A and B are shown apart, each in its own frame.
Chain A
Amino acid sequence: MTVVALLGNPNTGKTTLFNELTDNYSYVGNWEGVTVEKKVGKIHHSEMMVVDLPGIYSLNPITKDEAVAVNCLLHDSPDIILNVTNACQLKRNLLLSIELLEFGQPTVIALNMIDDLKRSGIAYNLGILSAKLGCRFCTTNARNKEGLEQLKADLLNSPTQATEPLALNYPSDVMNSLDVASMQLVQQFNYTETFARWLTIQFMNQNHQVRQFAADKHLHPLLNQAICYDQQDYESQIFNTRFDFINEVLSDATEQQSLTNKANITAKIDYWITQPLLGLPIFVGIFYLMFKLSFDWLGTPLSGLLDSFISGPVSHTASALLTQLGAIPFLKSLIVDGVIAGVGGVLTFIPQIFILFACISLLEDSGYMSRAALVTDRLMQMFGMNGKSFIPLIIGFGCNVTGIMAARTIEQPKERLVTTLISPFISCSARLPIYGLFVAAFFQKNQALIVLSLYFLGIVVALLMAKVYQWLFKIKESSVFIVELPKYHLPRLDIIAAGTWDKGKGFIKNAGSIIFAGTVLIWLLSNLGPQGVVTNINDSFCAWIGQAALPIFQLIGVTSWATVSALLTGVLAKEVISSSMIVLFHLSGQTGLIATFSTLFTPLSAYCILIFILLYAPCFSTLSAIKTETGSIKWAAYSLISNTVIAFVIAMVVYQVGSLFM
Chain B
Amino acid sequence: MMQLNYVEPSHPTVIVHQMTQLDNSTASRLHNLGIRPGSELTVLRKYPFHGPVIIEFDAQRIGIRYTVFTALLGGD
Q: Which residues in A have some Cβ–Cβ distance to B below 8 Å?
A: 57-58, 60, 62, 88-89, 91-92, 95-96, 120, 239-240, 243, 263, 266-268, 270-272, 274, 276, 279, 370, 373-374, 377-378, 387, 411, 478, 480-485
CB pair B47–A482 under 8 Å, yes or no, is no
Residues of A with C-beta under 8 A to B23: 478, 480
Task: Name A239's contact: one of B31, B48, B59 (CB within 8 Å).
Answer: B31
Mask: chain B, 1-36; 1 = CB below 8 Å from A; 0 = not = 000101011000000000000010110111111101
A274, B54: Cβ atoms closer than 8 Å: yes
Which listed residue, B8, B29, B45, B52, touches A57 by the CB 8 Å rule? B29
Shortest beta-carbon distance, A382 to chain B, in Å? Answer: 11
Considering the complex, give the chain B residue whose CB is closest to the CB of A93: B34
- Cβ-defined contact, B36 with A243, below 8 A: yes
Q: Which residues of B contact A484 (CB under 8 A)?
A: 33, 60-63
Tell me the bound Cα distance from A279 to B60 in angstroms: 20
Main secondary structure, interface of A, reads helix
B18 shortest CB reach to chain A, Å: 12
Q: Given A482-B62, A482-B63, A485-B63, does the pair A378, B33 have CB atoms closer than 8 Å? A: no
Q: Taking beta carbons and an 8 Å cutoff, which residues of B are in contact with A?
A: 4, 6, 8-9, 23, 25-26, 28-34, 36, 44-45, 47-49, 51-52, 54, 58-65, 68
Residues of A within 8 A of B44 (CB): 270
The residue of chain A having its C-beta at the shortest distance from the C-beta of B34 within the complex is A92
With a cutoff of 8 Å between Cβ atoms, the chain A residues found around residue B62 in the complex are: 482-485
Q: Are B33 and A92 in contact (CB under 8 A)?
A: yes
B33 A481 Cβ-Cβ under 8 A: no
A276 touches B51 (CB 8 A): yes
A268, A274, A276, A411: the one contacting B25 at CB < 8 Å is A411
Interface contact B28-A62, CB-CB below 8 Å: yes
Residue of A nearest to B6 (CB): A268
Given contacts A378-B52, A482-B26, A482-B64, contact A239 B36 (CB under 8 A): yes
Q: Is the CB of B36 within 8 A of A95?
A: no
Q: How far is the CB of A389 from chain B (nearest CB, A)?
A: 14
CB distance from B65 to the nearest CB of A (A): 5
Contact A485 B61 (CB under 8 A): yes
From A57, A58, A272, A387, residue with most partner B Cβ within 10 Å: A57
Ordered by A's residue number, 11 sampled pairs between the chains whose C-beta atoms are within 8 Å are: A57-B32, A62-B28, A91-B34, A92-B33, A239-B36, A263-B6, A271-B6, A478-B23, A481-B68, A482-B64, A485-B63
Q: In angstroms, how far is the closest chain A Cβ from the Cβ of B42?
A: 11
Which of B58, B64, B65 is the one whose CB lies under 8 Å from A92? B58
